[in-house]
Structures are given as structure tokens and as C-alpha cells.
Amino acid sequence: MTENSAELRDTAPLVALRGVNKHYGALHVLQDIDLEIAQGEVVVLIGPSGSGKSTLCRTINRLETIDSGTIEVDGRPLPAEGRELARLRAQVGMVFQSFNLFSHKTVLENVVLAQVKVGKVAKAEAERTARELLERVGVGAQADKYPSQLSGGQQQRVAIARALAMNPKVMLFDEPTSALDPEMVNEVLEVMRSLAARGMTMVVVTHEMGFARSAANRVLFMADGRIVEESTPDAFFTAPRTDRAKDFLSKILQH
């Protein structure tokens, strides 16, 4: 990263959460979340299991609703469920831990489907885009296979291509490598690093310290529904300020 976060944050934020709260019944899963993400910024969300990372990530494209506060993407508040929201979701790419490729469609069809049905792109053009993207993430040769015939690492790269095909303004990754065998983690992180290098705005829930250090502008540490620490990757991993973060890091670094 050549630019640093401070410079990036001079412009209007691409994603802005203000005073966001959410409950699951009695559980206060997001507590007064304030977060601004600048165009081109890569933010890594880290924290113990159950701290609300996935929930936070999913509120940004409104897969989860919130109880109070506001969320803006590109200066516009998230619309209510309906056509407007669908349009916005197309601009916010999401990559899931479990890939969620459409199992009844081939790899190529997976990347083509939403372009045609949502983006109203002509089929031939959508296929051209799809092949380019599949090539770019290194699975061009698998285009005509079904997802179940691919390795986890390949499936996740297809899922990234599928999201990129909509030309999103921001990409959300929810533990994209947690379901992968260790030898496949790097091929996915490599794709994500190159995305970051091309200037994609990214929110990444991950415990991959290597990725955070090499690609992130900022690390946010979450615990119990709050963002309790926020710093550069180097500062966070070498000198965490809060006890919660120190405790958490000592646990993940043991392994």
C-alpha cells in the first residue's frame, strides 16, 4: 500500500456507519458502531468468535437489518427492502465463508447469471466478462464444470469473480479462507491482495495476519459487539493497546 489511511480518509467515505445498534433478542450484538471506510481502503475486522464481525459485515448490504443508527454507501442511506435495495446490493459484493456458489449452475453460469438478470447485460458480453474474470482469478479452465467438481480454493475464487462481475464499489469478505484446507488459503489471499492493489475498497473479516499486514490499511478489533481497538496492522499486531486485544492475539499466535 502506497497511500496511507489518513490520506484516504480525506475524501468523503464510501461506507459510513453511524451509531449502529442491533439486538438478537436480549443479545446486544452491535453496540454504537461508528465506522467510516474511504474509497480504496482495505479494512480488516478481527476479533473473537461471536463478537459480531459477521453481523457487522452483513449490515453493510442489509442482509441484516439494524435497530438504530444509519448506514450509508456512497453517500446514500441504505434503502428499505425492495427494488432500490436490490440495486444497491448489486454494488456491494459479498464473499461468504461457505462460498455459496449456485450448485445447479456451471462456474461460467454462476458468474453470468446476475450480470444478465440483474445488470441487464447482454448474454454474450456477460460471458466475455465472466471468462476474463475467471481467467484473472486463475480458474479459467474450470468454466464449464459444476461447483462441486472444484476444490474449495477454486470455488472461493469463482465466488470472488462472481461478485466482481457486478462491478461493485466495495467488497465484503466474511472469513473467506476459514473453510479452506491450509494449502488453499494462499491462492485465495493472493487474489484478494491483487484486488486490494488495484484499489478495490474492501472489508475483510479474517484472522490471517499475513494478509492484514500486507494488504490492510486499518485493523479493527471487535469484542462483544464493539469496536474496541483501531490501528494500523503493524501497530495492532506488534503493540496492541487493549487487554482484550492482547489476550486475543496471544491466543491466535500460540497456534
Ligand X SMILES: Nc1ncnc2c1ncn2[C@@H]1O[C@H](COP(=O)(O)OP(=O)(O)O)[C@@H](O)[C@H]1O
* Residues binding ligand X (CB under 6 A): 24, 27, 29, 47, 49-55
How far apart are CB 6 and another protein at their closest, in Å? Answer: 31
Rounded Cα distance between 145 and 18, Å, is 43
What does the alpha-carbon distance between residue 226 and residue 220 come to, in Å, rounded to a whole number?
10
Buried b (16+ CB within 10 A) or exposed e, 53-66: bbbbbbbbbbbbeb
130: left (phi over 0), alpha (psi -120 to 50) or beta: alpha
- Determine the Cα angle at 235 with ends 229 and 240, to 5°: 50
Q: How far is the CB of 27 from ligand X (least distance, A)?
A: 6
* Residues near another protein (CB under 8 A), total: 31
Tell whether residue 90 is a contact of another protein (CB under 8 A). Answer: yes
Q: Please report how close the Cβ of residue 189 comes to Mg ion at its closest, in angstroms.
A: 18
Q: Which residue in the set 7, 81, 144, 181 belongs to the binding site for another protein (CB under 8 A)? A: 81
- β-strand pairing of 76-77 with 170-174: unpaired
Contact by Cβ (8 Å): 28, 12: no
Q: How far is the CB of 167 from another protein (least distance, A)?
A: 11
Q: Does position 110 bind Mg ion by CB under 5 A?
A: no
Which residue in 54, 155, 177, 206 binds Mg ion (CB under 5 A)? 54
Per-residue x/- track, 139-158, another protein (CB under 8 A) = -------x------------
Contact 53, 222 (CB under 8 A): yes
The binder of 50, among another protein, Mg ion, ligand X, none, by C-beta within 5 to 8 A per type, is ligand X
Site for another protein in 21-80 (CB under 8 A): 61, 63
Amino acid letter, 59? T
Residue 74 has what DSSP assignment? Answer: T
List interacting residues with Mg ion (CB under 5 A): 54
List interacting residues with another protein (CB under 8 A): 61, 63, 81-83, 86-94, 96, 98, 100-104, 113-114, 117-119, 146, 159, 162-163, 166
